[in-house]
Structure 1
Amino acid sequence: MLFGALQAFYGPAIPALREEFGLSPSAAGLALSAHFVGGVGGVLVFDRLYGRTGNRRMLGASYLLMALGAAGFALAPNWPLALAAALLAGCGFGGLDYGLNQLFAVGFGHRSTAMLNILNAHFGIGAVLGPALIGAVGAEHYPVVFLVFALANLPLLFCLRGVRDRPPQPPQGRAAGEVSGAAARALRSVLAVFVVLYVLHVGIEAGVGGWEPTHLESVGHSAGIAATATSVYWLMMTVGRFLVAPLALRFSPQAIITVSCAGMTVCLLLAAVPDLAPFAYAGVGLFIAPVFPTGLPWLHRAAPHARRAGALVIAASLTGGVVAGPSLGKVIEWSGVRAVPLLLAAVSAACLAATLWLTRATRTKPATRTKPATRTKPATRTGPVT
């Protein structure tokens, strides 16, 4: 929950940041960009050290980086130092993003998909409560919120004894270096499509969150309804992950993600109808919710020897969040705000196509049936069994 709240603090604090440091809107928005850039760096560093340095030490370092960065952001006397602190907090954020998702993906066996959805649902709770907290105390008091966040991270350092310090051994079979050329090419294709799926789905998530209020106002809804509908969208993402957790024990990840991509495509098409748009966006939040946490166990089963696969897709998801805003903004300049749901529906359809391709590419072939062995007469026991 703290992890989710940190990402959500920056946006509501922008008015106070602009007044305190004399910033333009785009300059104030660099705080969140610095946070995401640091997040990508944290993912890559954690992945480099994964398996070499103990998991408890890496998670503890991530908590400390988030705490130091948040405290630095609260106390920074000028904007360059504030950006550096946001970058530092982002490094801890990225390390924790990769570390917790990686550990949950491999640590709970067949329950990993359900547990990942519960983990990410609590991230969503933090993301919903973070802006509410800033709003309750007032944006001008954002330093107090960041300092309290920094202090709240420190007790977590004493809660790491339940984490296994080393990753479990990979499944028996060929080592990663012994994979045949054809299998290696197929694995690279699977990883590439997983990366595409994650970049596109995070682009949809960020695109709806960023442009839903503008689109709703452009089709005749009031600013209050637009803001409320956007909050409901984020809330439905959290609800969706809790709802999927029990379903993940009965249905495969590929089935869940296929239904999710199809559902959000339909909802985005319905969002083009002005009267239905607020409800349709809520449906998008519900359907997109399971994609990120459900895809990771599927990836680990599809590429058990590709240790860096998780880092690739998590870094891709963070990159997708950075790229989505300006990319979608350029397209909207050409097509107009009313085309937002249709543009995102096209991206969602690409997610569905990628999911169907991955389902086919990672489908395990059934074992060849063999003729049952001829039953033989058991040998006569002549001595003690050893």
Structure 2
Amino acid sequence: MKNTKLIAASSLTMLIVALTSAIIGPLLVPMSESFKLNLSQAGSLVSFRFLGFFLSSVLIGLFWQRSRAGLFLVGSSFLLSLALLTIGFWPVLPVVCVLLFAVGLSGGLVHTGVDSLLSEIYPEVRTKVLNLVHIFFGVGAFLGPIMVGTVLWFFGWWNLVYYLVGMGALVLFFLFLTQNLKETQETFVQTQTGARTNLTYLTKSVPFWLLTIGMFFYVGSEVSLSSWVPMFMAKVRNTSTVVAGYTNSVFWIALLVGRLVFVYLSGKISTSRLLALAALGATVFAIGVFSIASHILIITFLACTGFFASGIYPTVLALGGHTFPNRIGMITAILTAAGSLGGICFPWLVGFGSEYLGLGRGIFMIPVLMGFAAAAFVYFEGRLIK
């Protein structure tokens, strides 16, 4: 595979961005205790990060060009490291809220920038390459809860976790700084139209809306799940804070294994059918996670949820690129923005609902959201068959 240095840098990008996403769920408990937050306020911490992620998608959609890839990747990786390190040194609630927004903004720029760049460079094997690179998202997401549990166990300082991830982001910055992005050659000519023209074209397409709505509900449900499962395990299933944090690693290691399987299946099953089956499987097992009391069965169902969910995000991006090959920057940005919007709204909504219904009932919003995503992707597959 050509451009192996870029693949390596992109893989590290996914690992670091995944760490920033995966640590916030296990850290909700100690951060809530430190800042004396209720459930709704705790969910808002997740929303601050995804608000930044959403803005990054808008910026990518408006300003992304292949010639600006270096500026996007170098600048955003530097801002990411700076924001994470500052949280580590200055854990004060108003500062943390602003910096979580900066983490989401910079992480989203580097994440979506890498997705857009790879989609352009590898049009023929887009699904396989995106799933391959996103395997490292699974690695980072798996390591995140383990890192949180280990740091809390030995040191008890939740902000130390952000400092450690910030050091990793600093390595990513230097890697992009020395990366020669000019050596990548254009594989096809994109349609040279303005952002408004591209957006008008896309919004007239039913497949566009199905993918966008599906991404909105899926990412919202995934972020809500990874954010609230530790709280659910600690407050409803009565596990320790450390054990509750480790539980999330089960979801992410299953997601990692699932990505390997999806890389293998991507050339054997149609992409749209693979997406529909994955979303349906994730929905069914997510219902089981919150329906049973046995810790062993919860972990089993959580692993199955992660396995089926593993291929959804990169496969949606690949389908967007396949369906609109001349508007990759715009479609990637819109799909990412839709997911970010879900990540902003639904973790807070789960917390708000749980304030009134109780966490044991409010958390059932998560499989409902997954069900909505599955319905959109199944309908997308049905339209292709017709």
Per the TM superposition, whether the score is higher than 0.5 is yes
Task: Give, as a single letter, the amino acid of the residue that structure 1 aligns with 2:315.
Answer: T
**Bigger CA drift: 279-288 or 8-17?**
8-17
Change in CA separation of 1:171 and 1:252 when aligned onto 2, cut-off 3 Å: farther
Matches within 5 A, 1:79-90: 79-90=93-104
Q: Residue 174 of structure 1: CA displacement?
A: 11
State the SS of the aligned residue for 2:35. coil
Task: Give, as a single letter, the amino acid of the residue that structure 1 aligns with 2:212.
Answer: V
Task: Give, as a single letter, the amino acid of the residue that structure 1 aligns with 2:77.
Answer: Y
Task: Give, as a single letter, the amino acid of the residue that structure 2 aligns with 1:60.
Answer: V
Matches within 5 A, 1:113-262: 113-137=127-151, 138-140=155-157, 142=160, 144-162=163-181, 168-170=187-189, 186-187=204-205, 189-213=206-230, 222-223=239-240, 227-262=245-280
CA distance in 2, matches of 1:112, 1:207: 28
CA distance in 1, matches of 2:148, 2:292: 33
CA distance in 2, matches of 1:342, 1:353: 17
Indicate the RMSD between aligned Cα atoms, in angstroms: 3.7
Identity %: 20
Change in CA separation of 1:17 and 1:324 when aligned onto 2, cut-off 3 Å: closer
Task: Give, as a single letter, the amino acid of the residue that structure 2 aligns with 1:261.
Answer: A
TM-score with structure 1 length normalisation?
0.78
8 A Cα contact 1:56 1:165, kept in partner: no
- The match for 2:35 is 23
Q: Residue 288 of structure 1: CA displacement?
A: 0.8
8 A Cα contact 1:269 1:341, kept in partner: no
More helix by share: 2
Q: Residue 102 of structure 1: CA displacement?
A: 1.5
**Bigger CA drift: 83-92 or 137-146?**
137-146
CA distance in 2, matches of 1:80, 1:178: 39
CA distance in 2, matches of 1:147, 1:174: 38
Matches within 5 A, 1:202-351: 202-213=219-230, 222-223=239-240, 227-271=245-289, 272-275=291-294, 276-307=297-328, 308-332=330-354, 337-339=359-361, 343-351=365-373
State the SS of the aligned residue for 1:54. helix
- The match for 1:352 is 374
Change in CA separation of 1:164 and 1:322 when aligned onto 2, cut-off 3 Å: farther
CA distance in 2, matches of 1:220, 1:97: 34
- The match for 1:107 is 121
Residue deviations 1:126-156 (CA, integer Å, cap 9, x gap): 1222343344343426164255235323321
Task: Give, as a single letter, the amino acid of the residue that structure 2 aligns with 1:157.
Answer: F
Task: Give, as a single letter, the amino acid of the residue that structure 2 aligns with 1:237.
Answer: L
- The match for 1:377 is none
**Bigger CA drift: 259-268 or 208-217?**
208-217
**Bigger CA drift: 98-107 or 10-19?**
10-19
8 A Cα contact 1:268 1:341, kept in partner: no
Residue deviations 1:267-317 (CA, integer Å, cap 9, x gap): 234443444433122111110110000111111222234452211110111
Q: Residue 160 of structure 1: CA displacement?
A: 2.3
Change in CA separation of 1:174 and 1:102 when aligned onto 2, cut-off 3 Å: closer
- The match for 2:79 is 65
Change in CA separation of 1:186 and 1:47 when aligned onto 2, cut-off 3 Å: closer
Q: Residue 341 of structure 1: CA displacement?
A: 7.4
**Bigger CA drift: 46-55 or 290-299?**
46-55
2:58 pairs, out of 44, 52, 77, with: 44
State the SS of the aligned residue for 1:25. coil
Residue deviations 1:35-79 (CA, integer Å, cap 9, x gap): 322222222223322117521222111111112222333344854
| Matched residues, number | 359
CA distance in 1, matches of 2:173, 2:142: 22
Task: Give, as a single letter, the amino acid of the residue that structure 2 aligns with 1:23.
Answer: F
Change in CA separation of 1:289 and 1:69 when aligned onto 2, cut-off 3 Å: same
Residue deviations 1:194-219 (CA, integer Å, cap 9, x gap): 12101111122123323435555788
Residue deviations 1:79-123 (CA, integer Å, cap 9, x gap): 444443333332210101211111222322232112211222211
8 A Cα contact 1:55 1:164, kept in partner: no
CA distance in 2, matches of 1:302, 1:185: 13
Higher-Rg member (1/2): 1
CA distance in 2, matches of 1:173, 1:83: 38
State the SS of the aligned residue for 2:55. helix
- The match for 1:379 is none
CA distance in 2, matches of 1:154, 1:118: 22
- The match for 1:92 is 106
Task: Give, as a single letter, the amino acid of the residue that structure 2 aligns with 1:359.
Answer: E
State the SS of the aligned residue for 1:109. coil
Q: Residue 265 of structure 1: CA displacement?
A: 2.6
Task: Give, as a single letter, the amino acid of the residue that structure 1 aligns with 2:301.
Answer: A
State the SS of the aligned residue for 2:180. coil
Residue segments in structure 2 that go unaligned for 5+ positions in a row: 1-14
Change in CA separation of 1:215 and 1:25 when aligned onto 2, cut-off 3 Å: closer
State the SS of the aligned residue for 1:311. helix
Task: Give, as a single letter, the amino acid of the residue that structure 2 aligns with 1:121.
Answer: I
State the SS of the aligned residue for 2:127. helix
